[in-house]
Structure 1
Amino acid sequence: MEHPPLIWNDAAELGRIIRSARVEQDLRQEDLAFAAGVSRALLNQVEQGKPTARLDGILAIAMALGLTPAFLPARTNAIGDV
């Protein structure tokens, strides 16, 4: 099954997307963490919407789920807009 690009606005939304994709693929946290090469604790932090999760871990989890992260310009004022 092909997934749309992984687009999120905050850590909580990212967590919901990751958890939904994991459940849809009938994976336990332990199995996904192993496949992504991250700890189960990190995966749990991501799914719980903790904003301190490392980007490399998030990318590894997304790739293990077959999700494609997409980086879009912010909708609000960015540093370059000042």
Structure 2
Amino acid sequence: MRELEKMGFEVGDFGWAGYDNFYAEGGFDISAEHGDAYKYIDYYGEFRGGYPYISEEIQQMAEDYGYILEWYNAGVLQASPDY
């Protein structure tokens, strides 16, 4: 989370959990609507051919820390531990 915050992302518990223990088990939300997030994550892919987009850098960071990424909605990307 700290690395994402350093990049300008708003991260944390936004209350959008897909299941009851999401946050307790280490999951967190990433805003796709805050600051320059669109440069790295873009649900609508407006600038990249119309498909949902997550940059290689963010995907690699998630993999390095043992997380998987899933879109909750167009404004929130969720990171959950990959057990």
TM more than 0.5 = no
Query: TM-score, length-normalised on structure 1?
Result: 0.30
The structure with the largest strand share of the pair is 2
The structure with the largest helix share of the pair is 1
Q: Which has the higher contact order (CA 8 A, sep 6+)?
A: 1
Query: TM-score, length-normalised on structure 2?
Result: 0.30
